[in-house]
Amino acid sequence: MPSGMAAENGLPDASCWAIDPAVAYLNHGSFGATPVPVLAQQQRLRAAMERNPVSFLVRTLPELLAAVRADVAAFLGADQDGLVFVDNATTGTQTVIAAATLGPGDEVLATDHCYPAVLAQLVRSTQAAGARLEIAPVPLPAASRTAVAEAVLSRLTEHTKLAVIDHVASCSGLVFPIAEIVAECRRQGVPVLVDGAHAPGMLPVDLGRLGPDFWTGNMHKWVCAPKASAALWVAPAWRETLRPLVASHGMADGFRPAFDWTGTRDPTALLAVPAALDFFRRAGWAAVREHNNELARQGAEVVADRLGTSPPSADGLAAAMRLVPLPVALSEDDARALERRLLDLGVVVPVTYHGGWRWLRLSAQLYNSLSDYERLADSLAAGAGGAAWSLSTA
C-alpha cells in the first residue's frame, strides 16, 4: 500500500502525488500526473537500465515488455497480438491516419471536438490525397447520447473511408457514445479509429466488446503512468499492413515486432505502467472513477454558480473532465491571458474553445478536493484588478 493512503475514504490522496501543495491543480487532463510510488518504480527501472544499458535493452526489455503487454491488454480487454506501444496518442492516431489509403473523392469523417494535432494530420492526409475532410458539428450542450451519435453518424456517406472519433474529447470533456458510433460504422463498412487519449482509467475500456478497427489511448493521463506511455490496438484485418511511422528494425517481421523497437528511447515510462495499474487496482477502479466523476461534477457546479453560468454536459456525457462556460466572450489572447493570470494566483486550469465560446475545463483526480474548485471560483471572482474573466472588458 503506498504511503499517504487517506483514512477517510480509503482512496489514495494528494500525499501520494508530487503536485505542489500550494497549487490548485485542475488540469490533470493535459498531461496526467504520476503518483510518487510509481515514479519510484520508474527510477528503479532506470537505475537497472543504466547499470548495463546493452544487457537491459537487448536482453531484459523484451521480457519486461511482454509482461507490460499482458497487463495492459487485460486492462483494456484487448488481445495481445493486436496491442503495441507508442509514446503518446498523437503518435497512435497519426500512425493510423497516415496509413489510410485515400484518393480523390474519398471522405474522412471527424468532429468539431477533434484534438488539434489529430486534425492537423487529417488535413495533411486528406489534402495530399485530394480527399475531403468532413467535420461533423456536435453542439454543446449535448442533449443525449442518441443526439451525439446521430450528429456524427448522419455525416457518413458511401464515400467515407475512415471515421476518427474521440472517446473523450479534449476541448469539451464530452464522452462520446462510442459503442453506438463504432457499431454503426462497422455495420456500414466504414473503418473507425477511436482516439481514446483520455479513456484508459477515466472510463472502463473493453476493446473486445467495442470492436473498433483502430484504437489508441494514453496510459500517462488517467492511469497516471509516467509520461510517454501509450497503447495502440489494431483489429486483425489491419495487422498485416499497419506499420510504425518510423521504419524500424522489425518492419518485415510482422505487426508487433515492427513496433517493439522503433529506435533508442527511455522505455521506463512504459515499463512502469504495471505499477500505475497496481496503484489504482489496490484502490479499486470503480471507486476511483466514482470519486473523480462526482468531484468534477460538484467542482463544476461550484465554479459555474459563482460565474452565474451552467455546466453543459448531461449525465452520461461527461466523466472526470467538466466544462464551465465563461460568462463573457473572450478572444484567444484574452483566454491565454486568463490562464496566465490564474496561474499567477496558483490555479492551473485550461481555457478551451468549442462552438464559438470559451470554457474552463475542470479535471478531477484523487489529489483534488472541493477546496481546489472553490479556490478557482474565488480567483475568478476576485482576481487582482477585478474579475479575472473580465479581462476583455477590463
Ligand X SMILES: Cc1ncc(COP(=O)(O)O)c(C=O)c1O
Q: Which is nearer to ligand X, 170 or 379 (CB)?
A: 170
Minimum CB distance to ligand X, residue 195 (Å): 5
Q: Which is nearer to ligand X, 12 or 350 (CB)?
A: 350
Nearest partner of 195 among 133, 118, 137, judged by Cα: 118
Q: Which is nearer to ligand X, 30 or 52 (CB)?
A: 30
Minimum CB distance to ligand X, residue 337 (Å): 22
Minimum CB distance to ligand X, residue 289 (Å): 18
Q: Which is nearer to ligand X, 34 or 88 (CB)?
A: 88
| Paired strand residues for 214 | 193, 234
With a CB cutoff of 8 Å and minimum separation 6, the contacts of 46 are: 266, 268
Minimum CB distance to ligand X, residue 115 (Å): 4
Q: Which is nearer to ligand X, 175 or 342 (CB)?
A: 175
Minimum CB distance to ligand X, residue 349 (Å): 14
Residue ranges in contact with ligand X by CB under 6 A: 30, 88-90, 115, 118, 166, 169-170, 195, 197-198, 218
Inter-CA distances, 97 with 23, 126, 242, 245, Å = 38, 9, 10, 10
Minimum CB distance to ligand X, residue 93 (Å): 6
Q: Note the residue count of the chain.
A: 394
Nearest partner of 90 among 132, 127, 122, judged by Cα: 122
- Report residue 39 as a C-alpha cell: 515514479
Q: ω before 257 within 30° of 0 (cis)?
A: no
Residue 66 to residue 69: CA distance in whole angstroms: 5
Minimum CB distance to ligand X, residue 114 (Å): 8
Inter-CA distances, 135 with 108, 117, 122, 182, Å = 9, 15, 11, 17
Minimum CB distance to ligand X, residue 124 (Å): 16
Q: Which is nearer to ligand X, 11 or 273 (CB)?
A: 273
CB-CB contact of 370 with 298 (8 Å):
yes
Residue 29 to residue 26: CA distance in whole angstroms: 8
What is the biggest distance separating any 2 CA atoms in the chain, rounded to whole angstroms? Answer: 63
Q: Which is nearer to ligand X, 170 or 368 (CB)?
A: 170
Q: Which is nearer to ligand X, 219 or 380 (CB)?
A: 219
CB-CB contact of 308 with 327 (8 Å):
yes
Q: Which is nearer to ligand X, 273 or 391 (CB)?
A: 273
Nearest partner of 216 among 229, 204, 227, judged by Cα: 229
Minimum CB distance to ligand X, residue 203 (Å): 13
